[in-house]
Amino acid sequence: MDSLEKQLICPICLEMFTKPVVILPCQHNLCRKCANDVFQASNPYLPTRGGTVTSGGRFRCPSCRHEVVLDRHGVYGLQRNLLVENIIDLYKQESTSNSKSGPERQVEQPMCTEHEDEKINIYCVTCSVPTCSMCKVFGAHKDCEVAPLNSVYQTQKENGRKQKSHVCETFDHLYSILEERKREMSQKVTGEQEEKLNYIRGLKRRYGDHLEFATKVVESGIQTMEESEMALFLQNAKPLLQKIDKACNISHLEKVEPGYENMDHFGVTFEREGKALRSVDFIKEDDEDDDVEEDNGEEDGEEGTSLETTTNPTQAIGGVGAGTQPPPSHRVLPKLQNPGNPAAVPPPRSGTRAQAQPADTPPQVGA
């Protein structure tokens, strides 16, 4: 009803249209009285009678600035918009009926549970609950931040509209992915189907050509059998036998294997995907925390790996321990092939005097 009322506001007087309502050539509406006022202001030197311009003139529409040209009848020559007038009557009737039922609806307005005689008229921002003024002054919400119900209602309603739009956009993206996959899979089926059909058409054409050749050979054989002249019969007999032998040979023609038309290998099942789609829900805070912990664990693992792979053993120069030993946290010890057999420790490389020592004993350098 509020949006309808905005459409019934005159752009001149900023109130609901007063009948009669006239429609301009640009399809905008004005009260006739307001249209006459604008017309007189735009044509101050035209003759008037009884406050109304009685000759033609022009003025601009206050909504779109379109120039409106009037004849000698002035604004009375403009067509009335009976549809808008009827809508105004219906709107006023509906507003009257709503005003009569207003007191009955007020009974349904929620009341404060702590103060039964007080209506819920404010919103506690701190506790995120609606409450009454007495609770703010004397009750449990006296130290809380509050806001008008209307502003909080509009904010949350707008937020809900935005989230709903975001959800719809997300599902639209999912639909587009499904449509793309559907198109790609359908193209695969169609491609193989066309390939098989083209092969069958070519095979059919070759079999048809061979059948036509065999038919001609049979007709030629019948004509030869009816030949009464012996010399001609014997002359045509050998070529005829060769043609018959060729017509009977179909080894050069390919054969379609049983089940060639089968397309069952394109079968699909979406049971797993269906379960995933049916479990689609909003993101929960616990899920976000788990994702953050997994990301941190992966980063820690990568740092540990790089730490172990970037250390190098220290080597002595010229037989004297001139090198500096790495710190204990970065020390690299030779790995035992057999932890139970000390003899299995590999010997140190040539040119290095440092020997492997237990983890808790620093390595010694030979003089």
Give the distance from CA 303 to its chain's centroid: 37
DSSP letter string, 84-140: HHHHHHHHHHHHHHHHHTHHHHHTTS-B-SSSTTSB--EEETTTTEEE-HHHHHTST
The two three-digit tokens of residue 295, written as one number: 């990301």
- Contact (Cβ atoms closer than 8 angstroms) between residue 25 and residue 65: no
Query: What is the C-alpha to C-alpha distance for residues 20 and 214, in angstroms, rounded to an integer?
Result: 94
Query: What is the C-alpha to C-alpha distance for residues 42 and 152, in angstroms, rounded to an integer?
Result: 46
Q: Which positions of the chain have pLDDT values less than 70? A: 1-2, 45-55, 98-108, 285-367
pLDDT of residue 108: 66
Rounded to the nearest 10°, the torsion over CA 32, 37, 38, 42 is 140
Place of tokens 């509050």: 146
Residue 23's DSSP bridge partners are: 29, 79
User: Could you say which DSSP state residue 51 is in?
Assistant: T
Report the length, in residues, of the chain.
Answer: 367
- Contact (Cβ atoms closer than 8 angstroms) between residue 109 and residue 130: no
> Global pTM?
0.36
pLDDT of residue 318: 39
- Contact (Cβ atoms closer than 8 angstroms) between residue 131 and residue 147: no
pLDDT of residue 71: 84
